[in-house]
Amino acid sequence: MNAIEVNNIIKTYTTKKNTITAVDSVSFSVDEGELFGLIGPDGAGKTSIFRVLTTVLLADKGNATVLGFDVVKEYAAIRNIVGYMPGRFSLYQDLTVEENLNFFATIFNTTIEENYDLVADIYKQLEPFKSRRAGKLSGGMKQKLALSCALIHKPKVLFLDEPTTGVDPVSRKEFWEMLKRLKAQGISILVSTPYMDEANLCDRIALIQTGKILEIDTPQNIINRFDNNLYALKSKSMFNLLNDLRAYSKTESCFAFGQYHHLVLNEEDFDINELKSYLKNHTELEISQIKPGIEDRFMQLMRGPSQPFSKGRALEN
């Protein structure tokens, strides 16, 4: 039995002007004991999927189960066996760390002491601040407290909606190490994130954009499907370089990636000297062939079949 099963879920929101499809016929499954990631930017539909699976939102069409329980017909059973950490910090900010934990433990008819072994690694970092109000904690500590509250009743499935958004890099790393330890204890985890580097920390991932699943597989298998030569370029004038590359007749795609631009050409046997000649007016030019990452494959899937840039699109970002 799968920990989570989603079948053709559709969710729309209606405004005065139009109807927005937030989740568009989404299907996927999560194995028991698996760390599964929903990877996509803001507005991709991740939170709507989480709200459907945690029984706080009804889908328009489709069905879903958590450990075999239907999210509509058996919502009460699901609420007793899952832990949910929403993207926005939603604990009581005027209660202390210890008071928040006691409150959530009481809701599930348990105590901190009874389930201390599950949250021990996290709670040890919070103990020095147990008398501090939750609203006065740092971003990283707030996330650890929220995770502790989601775990205090020993859930079998854990839902984490963008748990590291707005958190410093050190706290992000610590958080993912915690998730690995929780997975080792047999907890099934569904996590969403807009950070492509975190995708590599999952067993499997689903890339999602505008409510549609683009691809589902292990991170490495998804990367392996990027079947083009990829180049990283840098010059003194990065803005002009981006425009020139997008206007180049042999460019299939070009996007800004940190300090570099990632370039895919529409020719396999390409002489790099031809590109250097084209960019001869750029100073401090660097060109190197690199291995693709998750984000490169994501951008390729978003573009669909080969759609070369035209000069009219050179200024798009």
118 shares its domain with 241: no
142 shares its domain with 201: yes
Interval 278-290: pLDDT, tens? 999 999 999 999 9
Q: What percent of the chain has pLDDT over 90?
A: 63
> ∠ CA 131-128-150 to the nearest 5 degrees?
75
96 shares its domain with 243: no
Q: How far is CA 19 from CA 15, 22, 35, 49, 63, in A?
A: 6, 9, 33, 17, 21
Q: Of 198, 219, 240, which marks where a domain is finished?
A: 219
315/252 Cα distance (integer angstroms):
15
Mean pLDDT score, 139-155: 88
183 shares its domain with 265: no
Please report, for the domain that includes residue 135, its CATH number.
3.40.50.300
Q: What percent of the chain has pLDDT over 70?
A: 96
Tell me the two tokens of residue 94.
Answer: 């005027």
237 shares its domain with 112: no
Grouping H, G, I as helix, E, B as strand and the rest as coil, residue 237 is: coil
171 shares its domain with 87: yes
Mean pLDDT score, 242-269: 92
Beta strands at 82-85 and 69-70: parallel, antiparallel or unpaired: unpaired
125 shares its domain with 173: yes
193/132 Cα distance (integer angstroms):
28
Asked whether residue 307 carries a pLDDT value surpassing 80, the answer given is no
Answer yes or no: pTM beyond 0.95: no
64 shares its domain with 180: yes
End-to-end Cα distance, the chain = 44
Interval 179-232: pLDDT, tens? 898 899 899 999 999 888 899 999 999 999 999 999 999 999 999 999 888 999
Please report, for the domain that includes residue 299, its CATH number.
3.30.70.2070
State the pLDDT confidence band at 312, using cuts at 50, 70 and 90.
very low
164 shares its domain with 196: yes
Asked whether residue 305 carries a pLDDT value surpassing 70, the answer given is no
Q: Which domain holds residue 139?
A: 4-219
213 shares its domain with 308: no
CA-nearest of 191, 199, 231 to 215 is 199
Q: Quick check: 296 and 281 in contact, CB under 8 A?
A: no
Average pLDDT, the chain: 89
Q: Of 185, 219, 253, which marks where a domain is finished?
A: 219
CA-nearest of 3, 41, 11 to 214 is 41
53 shares its domain with 119: yes
User: Using alpha carbons only, how large is the chain's radius of gyration in Å?
Assistant: 23
Mean pLDDT score, 81-96: 89
CA-nearest of 37, 301, 13 to 189 is 37
State the pLDDT confidence band at 317, using cuts at 50, 70 and 90.
very low
Tell me the two tokens of residue 275.
Answer: 């590109």
Q: Of 193, 219, 245, which marks where a domain is finished?
A: 219
108 shares its domain with 238: no
CA-nearest of 52, 99, 48 to 72 is 52
pLDDT score at 15: 87
Number of domains in the chain: 2
